[in-house]
Structure 1
Amino acid sequence: MHSENPHEITPATRYGDPYYRPATARQPVILPAEIPPGVDWVTLPSGVRTLAYTQPMPPPPIPVSQPIPAWAKTTALLAPTVGGGIAAAGIGLSYAAPGLIAMSHALWSAAALIVAAVTAVPVLVRTARRSTGSRGGGSGAATHITQNITATGLFGRANGTINHH
């Protein structure tokens, strides 16, 4: 049985001897053309460079142009339109500002007129009734009407009487 150990064997170090140098083994020289595919030089964490099997690097992905989605085209086309509409509205409001201010003053005046009318009309009607009653246009005495309504039960029939005094 043939036993071949592929590992490098170094003799044990003599820690107490400051002049001790371990024997160096001569490695065979391999030319770069002789290195088989999938094998490459690697540096180990200890700093030693050696040959090792490596995983082949996958090729970089080739960028494929994707079609632009319809929603992106629509949004891109609508953005200048919306911006132009907002700009036009701003310009229109700047030209209309004096007219808008005048209309707001007119609306406040109309609101004040309506409030004055709602307040003044009942006062004028009440004053007109008093003046016609004191000039002899009526009997002088006010007519009083009383009404009595009675009902029995929650859904009973209501009966009422009206009295003129």
Structure 2
Amino acid sequence: MPYEHTIQSATPATRYGDPIVYPTAVQHPLMPLAELPPGVEMVTLPNGYSTLAYTRPQPLAPAAVAQPVPAWAKTTALLAPTVGGGVAAAGFGISYAAPGLIAMTEALWAAIALIAAGTLAPLLLRAGRGATGRGAAPVQHVTQNISASGMFGRATGTLNNR
């Protein structure tokens, strides 16, 4: 049942000695229900009047008990700055080493090109010789005999071309 205000108007006494009639219900300023403070509610009394009254507060939900921090969480929290610092130091070092690393990669590519040229050159030369149609070149054997007597002796030798 909503709260309703009733007003009974009384005519004011106009002559001296007339009885004063008091209103049976007094109008109070309305307070919106949304603005009621906690613990105050609109109640209906047994005689039918509706009024504001303090009510017993509802019991609060039991507070959560603080749980201890697990050991793995403590370890992780302690390791996080260490790992982050290591990554930062590695990035700092790589930024200083970058010019040297670029030079080393260029030197490695040059070495790979030299090895590849040294490996492929004889194959290309043999293939080029066979492609002219002359056949294989004659094999030459060169032998050299050198002899020397003593530590500071003069060396003599022969060269045989066969």
- Normalising by structure 1, what TM-score? 0.44
